[in-house]
Structure 1
Amino acid sequence: MGNITCLTALLITLLARGTSQQRVTCDAGQFKVGQNASVTCNFNHSVENTGHQISVMHYPFNASDRFSEKRILRCLRSNDLQPICEVAEGVLWNGNITDRLTLDIPDVTADFDGHYLCQLMPPDGMIMTVCSLTVEETPAQNSSIARSGSWTAFIIVTSTFFGLVAIPALILCIYIIW
């Protein structure tokens, strides 16, 4: 699954280059759970008042299929060139679009782990690029997850034992005694 996601991101990046003389770059990074994270789309010129449509998509690293993308930001331009923008829940944006657009993710969680696709759609085509945001879990969270996983495994083993061994043995003993 991870290979498919990486291959998709690479393909998108390769196809995006050379569509126009304009360029888009993307900056994200590596963050720990609970930190404030950000994704920045950089344009090589000011897109303010240009009429270009802009969107940012998220493709999780752990995606189960290729259709698990999520739209993080979408800006459409009205006739007077004022953007009409939608921002996903959990993401903050200050409303500024110049030669860059920055999305802030306060208290980042593993749900935001993945590839981010910045798209700029001028009238003559589409320009896009991909960057990755990695969210690391802290050791305390890993140990609590491990403890939780161990407890779950104990419950499963115990209930399986009673269901497959102890209860039939009890029924057999009762049958023999009667």
Structure 2
Amino acid sequence: MVSDILITAAIGGTVGAVVTAAASLFQTHLQQQSENIRWHAEFYLERKVESLMDLHAALEHAKLIYIEKGLKIGYGTVTKEDVDEVISVWQRFEQKLNQASVFLTNDQQQILSETLDKFHEANPIFNQAYEERNMAPSDFARREILDKYREGSEVLKEEINGPIKEFSN
């Protein structure tokens, strides 16, 4: 009788220990899975923000160069180096947009593509200013470029800051 009680207690203790160990293993597995998901989310969020910040930097640089070189049009002082720099800056912006496009919605992609196109439309004006040296400053679409720049910049700021705010909460 005493041995039956001891056997029952031993079996109950063993079953309890097994159940507790299984529950602990399951909880550990869930925590590891959650940490793994979080790590992947952080990894891709970091890539996204980095890519969008590179795109934003390329957009900012393009604006500065186009406006700076655009001022030279009215003075007839556009050089071949200016034309090459404008085209190089546009190509860098295009490259960064292509790289970041996987992180953009269709609407965001459309706005930034229109921004890229507006810069591209100015490229022949620089080439013409270099070749002819007698263009009026009004031939350069400074206002339109700045308007498209602002639209594109706003899209990027919202897309960069949104995940950062969400992630920090």
TM-score if structure 1 supplies the norm length?
A: 0.22
- Higher normalized helix content (fraction of residues): 2
- Higher normalized strand content (fraction of residues): 1
Q: Could you say which structure has the larger radius of gyration?
A: 2
TM-score if structure 2 supplies the norm length?
A: 0.23
